[in-house]
């Protein structure tokens, strides 16, 4: 780990992206003998795992460029229920016991390829009038999330065994997989939420090259 560097970290579930940054900062500061400057280039939700690009020192000035890179995710979508947050951390509601066929699911996901309009989830880190949307939502305030144009380059089915649908998708920066999951559920009439999410690639940066970090420990280590 160096002072002016780009680090690839495999974030585990159960830790925030800011928690990852704090641990890298703590370890690098100890190594350098002074307070290190460390930043991230795009967050992952606490329940999500996978690739984060962490920048240190002078490389922090390039964080914005890294954040604009396209990304690849693998996700598990659970049909038949909805979540207030679009993920397992929210309040779940049973919607339907309807079991769509694989052909019906394939037809549904075709609607979410290419350039699409997406409304980000209310529980997100997007700032509304200078405040994080998730902070407003947790206080019970009604948040009107602005729509945005995003690009879904690829969206493929990995496996389907009701109620779980596993997908792999290559998307532009700013795309919310939780919203794709919810929207697929709406099209199918079953309801849906994203139960698992893993980011495997950011442009040319691959999860196979990332260092690991334990959710309950501070140490970084090479991938085994």
Cα radius of gyration rounded to whole Å, the chain? 18
If asked whether residues 109 and 198 sit together in one domain, one would say yes
CATH label of the domain that carries residue 110? 3.30.2350.10
pLDDT number for residue 88: 94
pTM value? 0.88
77-114 residue pLDDT tens: 999 999 988 999 989 999 999 999 999 999 999 999 99
67 CB-contact burial (10 Å; exposed 0-12 / middle 13-18 / buried 19+): middle
**In the chain, which ranges are E strands?**
6-11, 38-40, 49-56, 71-79, 81-83, 92-94, 114-118, 127-128, 131-132, 148-161, 164-171, 192-202, 205-206, 211-213, 220-221
Domain total in the chain: 2
If asked whether residues 133 and 185 sit together in one domain, one would say yes
pLDDT number for residue 130: 65
pLDDT number for residue 224: 40
Examine residue 13 and state whether it is found in any structural domain, yes or no. Answer: yes
If asked whether residues 134 and 157 sit together in one domain, one would say yes
Catalytic positions, written as ranges: 45
pLDDT surpasses 90 at 119:
no
pLDDT band, residue 5 (cuts 50/70/90): very high
pLDDT surpasses 90 at 142:
no
> Domain range spanning residue 34?
6-68+204-221
Among the listed ranges 37-46, 114-123, 183-192, which one has the minimum average pLDDT value?
A: 114-123
pLDDT surpasses 50 at 184:
yes
If asked whether residues 22 and 113 sit together in one domain, one would say no
CA 194 to mean position of chain CA atoms: 10
pLDDT, average across residues 102-128 = 85
pLDDT number for residue 223: 47
Rounded distance, CA 105 to CA 111, Å?
A: 10
Examine residue 1 and state whether it is found in any structural domain, yes or no. Answer: no
If asked whether residues 25 and 83 sit together in one domain, one would say no
């Amino acid at each position: 780990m160096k002072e002016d560097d780009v680090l690839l970290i495999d974030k585990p579930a159960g830790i925030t992206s800011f928690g990852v940054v704090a641990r890298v900062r703590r370890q690098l500061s100890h190594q350098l003998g002074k307070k290190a400057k460390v930043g991230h280039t795009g967050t992952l939700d606490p329940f999500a795992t996978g690739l984060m690009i962490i920048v240190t020192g002078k490389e922090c000035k390039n964080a914005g460029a890294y954040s604009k890179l396209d990304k690849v995710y693998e996700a598990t979508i659970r049909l038949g229920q909805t979540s207030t947050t679009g993920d397992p951390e929210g309040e779940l509601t049973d919607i339907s016991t309807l079991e769509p066929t694989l052909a019906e699911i394939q037809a549904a996901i075709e609607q979410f390829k290419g350039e699409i309009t997406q409304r980000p989830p209310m529980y997100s880190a997007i700032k509304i009038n200078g405040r994080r949307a998730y902070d407003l939502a947790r206080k019970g305030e009604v948040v009107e999330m602005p729509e945005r144009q995003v690009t879904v380059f690829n969206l493929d089915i990995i496996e389907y065994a009701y109620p779980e649908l596993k997908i792999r998708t290559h998307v532009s920066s700013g795309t919310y997989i939780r919203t794709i999951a919810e929207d697929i559920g709406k099209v199918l009439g079953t309801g849906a939420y994203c139960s698992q999410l893993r980011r495997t690639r950011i442009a040319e940066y691959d999860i196979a090259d990332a260092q690991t970090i334990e959710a309950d420990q501070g140490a970084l280590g090479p991938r085994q």
